[in-house]
Amino acid sequence: VTIDREGPVPIYQQVASVLRARIEAGDIAPGRPVPSEASLMQEFEIARETARKAVRVLRDEGLVQIVQGRGAYVTGRG
Amino acid sequence: VTIDREGPVPIYQQVASVLRARIEAGDIAPGRPVPSEASLMQEFEIARETARKAVRVLRDEGLVQIVQGRGAYVTGRG
DNA sequence: TACCATTTGTCCGTATGTATG
DNA sequence: CCATACATACGGACAAATGGT
């Protein structure tokens, strides 16, 4: 999965889309955590803030629940 | 040893420089641990993340080896 | 065995400064 | 001006490893 750093779509939106697709595909089941911020930073070669923004998009969509000190856990598939 | 919180040099870099000087001067001999994160926080009045970053600089330079549950031990003098 | 203190590891929350488009 | 993005810095909480009681 690649990120387009030139195009008009913000990186964090692209990362959020990738994660959303994985959740909706069942690759990350409900109750399971999405990749940590550090993992996302590595995988997509992005800054932490960008990783956090991506996860917050999913949180605002109700797809994941963020737990301080633990991670962001899938709550459903939308 | 004082830290300049206004200047352009990041605090963690300054702390790393202080520790590096102590190591190269032999104040902290090979095999001995550098001060713990908690100690560095107290001594320099910095946040834990800043202390960790400073030690990681030395680790990346090969000056110390970090062991979880133990500390960061001087491996040499560069 | 259990418990505890110390230390590093890993999270999230927040804020500021800088730079770019 | 504003959104995006990165680096720095502080704070709080929980997890894991270590060593001792």
SS (H, E, C) A23-63: HHCCCCCCCCECCCHHHHHHHHCCCHHHHHHHHHHHHHCCC
The predicted-structure confidence for B16-73, as pLDDT tens digits, reads as follows 999 999 999 999 999 999 999 999 999 999 999 999 999 999 999 999 999 999 999 9
**CA–CA gap between residue B70 and residue B39 (Å, rounded):** 14
Mean pLDDT of chain A: 84
A3 nearest nt, CA–C1': D5
- Chain C bases near protein CB atoms (7 A cut-off): 6-15
**CA–CA gap between residue A44 and residue A19 (Å, rounded):** 12
- pLDDT number for residue A59: 84
Asked if strand C comes closer than 7 Å to B77 Cβ, the answer is no
- Spacing of B46 CA from D11 C1' in Å: 11
**Residue A66: which pLDDT band, with cuts at 50, 70 and 90?**
confident
- Chain D bases near protein CB atoms (7 A cut-off): 3-19
**Residue A75: which pLDDT band, with cuts at 50, 70 and 90?**
confident
Mean pLDDT of A32-52: 85
Asked if strand D comes closer than 7 Å to A47 Cβ, the answer is yes
Model-level pTM? 0.77
Among chain B residues 13-32, those with CB within 7 Å of any atom of strand D: 13
B68 nearest nt, CA–C1': C8
Burial class for A75, CB neighbours closer than 10 Å (0-12, 13-18, 19+): middle
**Residue A27: which pLDDT band, with cuts at 50, 70 and 90?**
confident
Q: Which residues pair with A65 in a beta bridge?
A: A73
Reduced to 3 states (helix: H, G, I; strand: E, B; else coil), residue A21 is: helix
- pLDDT number for residue B59: 94
